Amino acid sequence: GDSVTQMEGPVTLSEEAFLTINCTYTATGYPSLFWYVQYPGEGLQLLLKATKADDKGSNKGFEATYRKETTSFHLEKGSVQVSDSAVYFCALLRTGGYNKLIFGAGTRLAVHP
């Protein structure tokens, strides 16, 4: 079945460091891919998305490129801030009438001043 695998956390970085959170997926066909972010005690916020191979999603300095050949959608940011501390979820949505998001387990990011 479909699945998403994320690197385990927590990821601990100093402010202004470079961030990479790895995400790989297994799916039939050509899913859409998403990154959601969850701040403590809150629901999920859409961070970025990509709907086809080689698309790059970007938002708030975060980027991720849909790589079909490696079935990956790694999240990157050039310079993290303390306010980026949160849990990040990679997810896929199969096309063609399937409607449930499949999430990874999440990666906790802690950024220190």
Partner 1 sequence: DTGVSQNPRHKITKRGQNVTFRCDPISEHNRLYWYRQTLGQGPEFLTYFQNEAQLEKSRLLSDRFSAERPKGSFSTLEIQRTEQGDSAMYLCASSFTRGEETQYFGPGTRLLVL
CB nearer to partner 1: pick between 7 and 17? 7
Residue 70 and residue 13: Cα distance in Å, rounded? 26
72: tokens are 């990956």
Cα dist from 100 to 3, 16, 18, 32, 63, whole Å:
12, 35, 32, 11, 23
Q: Cβ(36)–Cβ(44) under 8 Å?
A: yes
CB nearer to partner 1: pick between 44 and 110? 44
Q: At closest approach, how far in Å is the CB of 16 from partner 1?
A: 28
CB nearer to partner 1: pick between 73 and 89? 89
By the criterion CB under 8 A, which residues form the site for partner 1?
4, 32, 34, 36, 41-46, 49, 51, 89, 91, 93, 99-106
CB nearer to partner 1: pick between 92 and 111? 92
φ, ψ of residue 80 in degrees (nearest 5):
-80, 155
Residue 109 and residue 46: Cα distance in Å, rounded? 16
